[in-house]
C-alpha cells in the first residue's frame, strides 16, 4: 500500500502522533465492507493496546483515542480505537452507497443531491463520525458554511471578436531571400499568418510600423524575417565589426531568450550576421565579452540593456538601424517607461540627426493608439497594421456591446470560462480543477497565474506534496477501458451508476497506485528565482507534454509554450490587456485551448468589464469541479462514495493538518496570505470597485491558504493596517465632503457638480420635505 493511501486514511484519525504502518491500514481495507461488529474487528496481532498514563492535551480519552504499540517496532501510536475507525469506514460505505437515491435504510437523500447551486450548508442527514467529531473539537473546517451567495450572472449577448490567423499566401510569394524561405520550410512554415503577410512587406519598405494582432499569431517572424532579409542583403556584407544594427527590446528574460532563439535559427541562412542577447541574472562579464566580440542583432530586457549602455564601452548604439519594441504597451507603460525613455535618449544621443534612418517597429496584441507617445517616442508617420480591422470578416463587426472600450481580439478557438468561488473554497476548488484535468482528462498541460511570487511558492510546494501522488495512474490503466479512471469519467458523465464497483477493481487500484507513472509535475516560474532555475523551468515546461506551471505575470507576455490546454487565473489580472495576454498562452496559431478565471461572488463586475472589450465568458459551476474530489479520494480510500462536501472538507483538513506539522509550509502559506492581501489592496483604480479591499473577508482568505490562524496572528497586521488606512482615508474624505457641503449651504451647486459632466447636480437641491 502506498503512502498516499495511508495518508488519506489518516484523515479518518482525528489526531495522531505517527501514522501506524501499512499493515494496520491494509487490515481496514480488507474488512471495510463487512458488517460492523466490535468483536469481529481487532487490529493485527502485532498491535498491542496500551493504556494512557495520563490524559494529554493533544490526546483526550474522551475522543476515543487509544494507544496501540507495534510489538515489532516498539512504536506507540495514539489513534482512534481500531473498532471506532472500522465503524467509521463501514458507516461511510453504507451511507454513501446510497448514491443519488434515497437511503434504503433511512429514506433520506444523500448529501450531494441536496447541493444545489446556492446550497452550501452541510447536509443535516450527514452522520460522518469523523467530521462530526472534528466539528465538536473545533477542528472541522466549515468550508460550506457562511459563504456568500453565488449571484446569477445573465449572459450578455455580446459577440466576441477573433481574427483569422493564416493567410492564403506562402513565404515564397514575398520578395525575400530564398535561403530564408527554405529555412522556414524546414520548420514546417509554408503559409504565412495574416500578420506576417501584412507586416513583413511593411517592415521591408522601411516605414515605421505599429503592429497589432491577437496572441499567438506569429508577430515575432513578422519583424524577424524582414530584418534578417535586409541585413543579409547589405553590401558589403555585414560583419561583427559593424556592431549593433538591430535592437529588440522585450519585457522579460524568457521572452528575450525565445526571440533570440528565433534569430539564431533564421541566421542559419546568413551565418555572417551575429545575434546575441542581454538579460538580467546572467553574468555581466560574459555579456561584456560577447559584446566586445561584436553582435549585430541584440535582443535585450530594458534594465540590463541600460546597464550596458551606460557601463560597457563596446556597446555602441550609433549604427542601430532597427529598433523593435515587442509588447510595446507593456514596455511603455508606467513600469518600464523610465527605462525606455532612457534607451531612446541614448539612441538619439549616439545618432545625432540620424533618427530618420532608424526604423522603429512596435508590436503587441493589445497595442492602443498613442502608446508610442508614452516614452516620448517619435515615430515617423507610422503605418498601423491591425489584423482585426484587416480581417475582412471583422471589418464591420456587429458590435452588440454599446461600450466605447476598445475591442480586443482573442483566438477563436480559445474558450473563456469563469468560476464563481466563495473565498473559503478557493483552494479545494483549484485542487479539484487540477485533478479533473490531469487525472481524468487529456488536458494535462496547464498554466496557473497567481498574483504574487509568494503565492506561487506556496501553492507549488503544497500541491507537489498533496496532489502529485493523487495522479499515479499506471500505463496498464490507460489501456484498460474498465480502469478506475475511465470508469470515474463515465460516472462523471452520468453513464454509469457509482455504486456497482467491485473488489477486483480495488485490487487493481492498489497495484496501480504503486506505479510512479502519471504523477503531476508542478513547476514554478517567477521573478525571484535564479536565472538558471528560470531558464531550466521554461525549457522543461516548453518541452513537456503534461504538467502544471504556476507563475506570476512574468510568464504572461509573449511566451510560446506549445500544447498548453488550460490557462487558470487564480487571481484576476489587473487589466484587461493582461487578461488577454495571460489567456493567450494557449490556443496559439489556430490551436484550441481554454481559459478559466476564479472570481469571488463580489468580483462578478469583472466579467462585465471583459464584455465591454468584447471578451465573453461562460460559467463553470463550482460543484461540477468539486465533484472530482469525490473520485480522487475514491482512488485513495478505494470507495466511490465520499460525498463532495466531505471530500472537499477532507482535503482542506489534510492541508490544514499538514500546515500544522510542517513549519516551512506554514511559513510559505503565511507569506502567501500576507502578499495576497497586499496585492489585493493594490489593484489599479480602474478595477478597484470590483476588487474592493474593504469587502475582503480576511479570515476566509486565510482558510483558502489552509491556515487556521486568525488574520491578526498571521502577521497580516500590515495588511490590516492597510485596510484600516483605506477605511480612515475614506472616512476623512467623506467628512471633508460633508463639511464642504455644510459650508456651501443647501442652495449652492457644489464645486464637483459644477465641473463634472457625470454629476446630476441633484445633490445640491434641498431634500424633499425639508424646510428651506
Ligand atoms: N507561418 C507560420 N506557420 C505556422 N506556425 C507559425 C508561423 N509563424 C509563426 N508560427 C508559430 O506560431 C507560434 C506563435 O508565434 P509568436 O510567438 O511569434 O506569436 P505572437 O503573435 O508574437 O504571440 P504573443 O502575442 O503571445 O507574443 C510560434 O510557435 C511559431 O512557431
Overall pTM surpassing 0.90 (yes/no)? no
Ligand 1 atom 30: residue of nearest CA? 218
Average model confidence (pLDDT) across the chain: 76
Q: Which residues of 449-478 are buried (b: 16+ CB within 10 A; e: fewer)?
A: bbbbbbbbbbbbbbbbebbbbbbbbbeebe
* Distance between Cα 324 and ligand 1 center (Å): 17
Query: In the predicted model, is pLDDT for residue 124 greater than 50?
Result: no
Compute the C-alpha angle 589/613/616, nearest 5°. Answer: 70
Going by pLDDT thresholds of 50, 70 and 90, the confidence category of residue 369 is confident
Nearest-10 crossing angle of helices 622-637, 644-661 = 70
Going by pLDDT thresholds of 50, 70 and 90, the confidence category of residue 45 is low
Q: Nearest CA to 696 among 713, 716, 669, 671?
A: 716
Q: Which atom of ligand 1 is nearest to the CA of 213?
A: 21
DSSP 134-172: HHHTT----TTSSPPPPPP-----PPP-----EEEEEGG
> Dihedral sign, CA of 527, 533, 538, 544?
negative
| Tens digit of each residue's pLDDT (9 = 90 or more) over 228-242 | 999 999 999 999 999
Q: Nearest CA to 336 among 377, 302, 369, 299?
A: 302
Of 126-135, 148-157, 212-221, the range with the highest mean pLDDT is 212-221
* Distance between Cα 392 and ligand 1 center (Å): 21
* The pLDDT value given to residue 405: 77
Query: In the predicted model, is pLDDT for residue 132 greater than 90?
Result: no
* Distance between Cα 212 and ligand 1 center (Å): 13
Q: Which atom of ligand 1 is nearest to the CA of 171?
A: 1
Q: How far apart are the first and last CA of the chain?
A: 84
Going by pLDDT thresholds of 50, 70 and 90, the confidence category of residue 721 is low
* Distance between Cα 588 and ligand 1 center (Å): 7
| Tens digit of each residue's pLDDT (9 = 90 or more) over 165-195 | 999 999 999 999 999 999 999 999 989 999 9
Ligand 1 atom 31: residue of nearest CA? 218
In contact, 132 and 649? CB cutoff 8 Å: no
Which residues surround ligand 1 with Cβ inside 6 Å? 189, 191-193, 196, 215-221, 365, 558, 560, 584, 588-589
Mutation pick for ligand 1 pocket among 183, 191, 218, 362 (CB with most ligand atoms within 8 Å)? 218
In contact, 110 and 122? CB cutoff 8 Å: no
What are 570's three cell numbers? 487564480
Task: Collect all residues with Cβ–Cβ distance below 8 Å to 286 and sequence separation of at least 6.
Answer: none
Amino acid at each position: 500500500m502506498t503512502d498516499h493511501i495511508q495518508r488519506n486514511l489518516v484523515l479518518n484519525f482525528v489526531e495522531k502522533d505517527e501514522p501506524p504502518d501499512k499493515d494496520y491500514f491494509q487490515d481496514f481495507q480488507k474488512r471495510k465492507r463487512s458488517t460492523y461488529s466490535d468483536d469481529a474487528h481487532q487490529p493485527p496481532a502485532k498491535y498491542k493496546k496500551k493504556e494512557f498514563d495520563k490524559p494529554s492535551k493533544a490526546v483526550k480519552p474522551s475522543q476515543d483515542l487509544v494507544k496501540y504499540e507495534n510489538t515489532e517496532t516498539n512504536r506507540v501510536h495514539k489513534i482512534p480505537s481500531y473498532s471506532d475507525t472500522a465503524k467509521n469506514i463501514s458507516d461511510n460505505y453504507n451511507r454513501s452507497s446510497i448514491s443519488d437515491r434515497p437511503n434504503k435504510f433511512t429514506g433520506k437523500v444523500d448529501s450531494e443531491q441536496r447541493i444545489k447551486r446556492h446550497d452550501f450548508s452541510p447536509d443535516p442527514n450527514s452522520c460522518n463520525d469523523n467530521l462530526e467529531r472534528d466539528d465538536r473539537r473545533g477542528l472541522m473546517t466549515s468550508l460550506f458554511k457562511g459563504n456568500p451567495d453565488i449571484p446569477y450572472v445573465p449572459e450578455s449577448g455580446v459577440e466576441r471578436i477573433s481574427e483569422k490567423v493564416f493567410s492564403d499566401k506562402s513565404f515564397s510569394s514575398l520578395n525575400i531571400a530564398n535561403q530564408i524561405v527554405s529555412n522556414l520550410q524546414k520548420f514546417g512554415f509554408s503559409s504565412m499568418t495574416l500578420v506576417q503577410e501584412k507586416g513583413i512587406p511593411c517592415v521591408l519598405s522601411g516605414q515605421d510600423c505599429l503592429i497589432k494582432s491577437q496572441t499567438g499569431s506569429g508577430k515575432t517572424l513578422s519583424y524577424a524575417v524582414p530584418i534578417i532579409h535586409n541585413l543579409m542583403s547589405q553590401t558589403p556584407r555585414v560583419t561583427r565589426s559593424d556592431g549593433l544594427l538591430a535592437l529588440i527590446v522585450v519585457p522579460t528574460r524568457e521572452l528575450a531568450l525565445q526571440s533570440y532563439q528565433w534569430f539564431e535559427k533564421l541566421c542559419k541562412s546568413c551565418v555572417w550576421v551575429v545575434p546575441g542577447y542581454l538579460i538580467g541574472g546572467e553574468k555581466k562579464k560574459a555579456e561584456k565579452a560577447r559584446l566586445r566580440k561584436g553582435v549585430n542583432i541584440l535582443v535585450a530586457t530594458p534594465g540590463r540593456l541600460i546597464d550596458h549602455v551606460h557601463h560597457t564601452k563596446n556597446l555602441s548604439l550609433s549604427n542601430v538601424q532597427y529598433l523593435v519594441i515587442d509588447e510595446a504597451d507593456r514596455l511603455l507603460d508606467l513600469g518600464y517607461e523610465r527605462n525606455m525613455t532612457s534607451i531612446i535618449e541614448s539612441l538619439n544621443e549616439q545618432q545625432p540627426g540620424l533618427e530618420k534612418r532608424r526604423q522603429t517597429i512596435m508590436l503587441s496584441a493589445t497595442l492602443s493608439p498613442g502608446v508610442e507617445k508614452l516614452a516620448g517616442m517619435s515615430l515617423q508617420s507610422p503605418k498601423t497594421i491591425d489584423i482585426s480591422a484587416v480581417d475582412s470578416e471583422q471589418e464591420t463587426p456587429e458590435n452588440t456591446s454599446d461600450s466605447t472600450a476598445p475591442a480586443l481580439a482573442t483566438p477563436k478557438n480559445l474558450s473563456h470560462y469563469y468560476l464563481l468561488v466563495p473565498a473559503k473554497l478557493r483552494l479545494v476548488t483549484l485542487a479539484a480543477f487540477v485533478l479533473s484535468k490531469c487525472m481524468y482528462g487529456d488536458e494535462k498541460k496547464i498554466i496557473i497565474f497567481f498574483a504574487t511570487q509568494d503565492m506561487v511558492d506556496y501553492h507549488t510546494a503544497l500541491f507537489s506534496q498533496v496532489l502529485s501522488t493523487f495522479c499515479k495512474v499506471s500505463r496498464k490503466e490507460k489501456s484498460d477501458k474498465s480502469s478506475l479512471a475511465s470508469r470515474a469519467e463515465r460516472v462523471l458523465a452520468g453513464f454509469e451508476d457509482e455504486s456497482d464497483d467491485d473488489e477486483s477493481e480495488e485490487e487493481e487500484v492498489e497495484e496501480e497506485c504503486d506505479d510512479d507513472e502519471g504523477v503531476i509535475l508542478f513547476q514554478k516560474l517567477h521573478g525571484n528565482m535564479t536565472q538558471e532555475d528560470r531558464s531550466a523551468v521554461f525549457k522543461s515546461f516548453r518541452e513537456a507534454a503534461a504538467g502544471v506551471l504556476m507563475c506570476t505575470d512574468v510568464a504572461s507576455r509573449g511566451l510560446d509554450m506549445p500544447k498548453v490546454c488550460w490557462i487558470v487565473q487564480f487571481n484576476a489580472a489587473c487589466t484587461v490587456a493582461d487578461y488577454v495576454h495571460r489567456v493567450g498562452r494557449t490556443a496559439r496559431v489556430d490551436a484550441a485551448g481554454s481559459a478559466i478565471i476564479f472570481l469571488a461572488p463580489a468580483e462578478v463586475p469583472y466579467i462585465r468589464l471583459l464584455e465591454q472589450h468584447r471578451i465573453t465568458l461562460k460559467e463553470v459551476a463550482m460543484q461540477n469541479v468539486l465533484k472530482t474530489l469525490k473520485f480522487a479520494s475514491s482512488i485513495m480510500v478505494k470507495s466511490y462514495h465520499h460525498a463532495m462536501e466531505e471530500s472537499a472538507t477532507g482535503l482542506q483538513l489534510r492541508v490544514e493538518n499538514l500546515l500544522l506539522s510542517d513549519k516551512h509550509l506554514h511559513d510559505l502559506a503565511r507569506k502567501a496570505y500576507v502578499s495576497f492581501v497586499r496585492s489585493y489592496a493594490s489593484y489599479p483604480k480602474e478595477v478597484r470597485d470590483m476588487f474592493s479591499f474593504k469587502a475582503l473577508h480576511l479570515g476566509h482568505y486565510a482558510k483558502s491558504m489552509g491556515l487556521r490562524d486568525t488574520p491578526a496572528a498571521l502577521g497580516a497586521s500590515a495588511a490590516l493596517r492597510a485596510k484600516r488606512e483605506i477605511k480612515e482615508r475614506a472616512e476623512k474624505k467623506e467628512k471633508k465632503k460633508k463639511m464642504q457641503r455644510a459650508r456651501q449651504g443647501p442652495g449652492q451647486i457644489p464645486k464637483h457638480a459644477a465641473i463634472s459632466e457625470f454629476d446630476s447636480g441633484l445633490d445640491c437641491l434641498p431634500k424633499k420635505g425639508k424646510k428651506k
